[in-house]
Structure 1
Amino acid sequence: MDDKKVLENFRRQKIATIEQLVQWLKCSVITVRRRLKEWRSLTSINQNGRYYTLPEVPVFDPNGLWRYQRVLFSTHGNLKQTLVAMINKSARGLSAVEIARLVDLPFNSSFISRMARVPGVKREKHEGRFVYFSAGPEIYTLQQHARASDRKGAGMPTDSEAVMILVELVKDPGIGIEQLATRIAHQGQWVEPEAIRAFLERHDLVKKTADTRQ
């Protein structure tokens, strides 16, 4: 298969491994890596970086993430660079749970805990949870104020967040509250499960979720 046909196949399949590309190109691993560099391909930030995609294929969400068949790609670089970028971009910092949901890591992942030692990030404990903030003084202050306001506020989703919740509930009436939070996080917003629960209870929708005790 020549390069043109390989690229067509690559775009159609969306993602590929080194092993697949070796078979398509009938060449060595070294040559495949050279081609990937020429094509400016992106490497997955999960699945041990085994997967590649062409730069024109992904449609990235507001967090700069794209998922395909449980494989995750980022506009920010590797996983560590991605977490730093998302923490600095977030309005109120990100808890370990929020980070885990965004990048499909276990909540107790050691990778997340190591972010406390990464330049540009600072970690603090808020209401029993570790929260990761920007180390930049100005952003950090804004994030702290936003998180404090969340605690003082009514704890209800905004109108746009409420629409997202209802859309997901219509798509999947049996969805759980934690799953709702995850789906919305994948769309670039974070809504606390407690806020989702309060919204559903106010509108008598809580019975429609699969497990309101989550």
Structure 2
Amino acid sequence: STDIVNHVLQEADIESHIRVYPWARAFHIAKRMPNTLIYSVAKTPERESQFHWLGKVAYFRLGFVSLTQRDDIKINKFEDAKAYRIAVQRGDISALYLAEKQFAIVETTDIKQSYQLLISKKVDLVIDDPQYINSMSQHFNLAPTQLSFIKAIDDLSVYGYLAANKDTDPQLIKRLQKAFEIVEKTSWYQQKLLNPYYNIEAFND
């Protein structure tokens, strides 16, 4: 995603500074500060009017992740997960989605804190994309086989976008939109955006 964003900014000849914040704080800043971009943000009906949507920078197949050793966790259908405590990041789409469906969620500031709760067995599951399991394993000095991706959730299979604050300079928006149109036509962009392994089994709720 950052590679795509940097290519778009270069094409638009715009200087920027990328900072990483907990998701809820990043979202708050992007909604209130003109000339601010945010990524990778899901384009939900509730959010659609809150930003200028510039283009897709990621594709997520979010689903349940557990510790492999937890052979007591049995999830054969989506509703089975209601029996378990699930760590989610405050304000993200998985938190909103599972709360609406009355799952037992524990909100955290970021994905690392969610995994910390999982590893310490304070929660039973986290919501993540399988492509990030290896990096989380490395971060916590675990073997990748110690974490298991159970199954994706169809409703949480979404594109992540680069979006801009609604009060951003209109000329900047035009430059970014034009730059994105150029970048997204390249084969490089298509290879970055999608990954062939995404044809994985999913719960269809």
Q: TM-score, normalised by structure 2?
A: 0.25
| Structure with the higher fraction of residues in strand conformation | 2
Q: TM-score, normalised by structure 1?
A: 0.24
Higher relative contact order (CA 8 A, sep 6+): 2
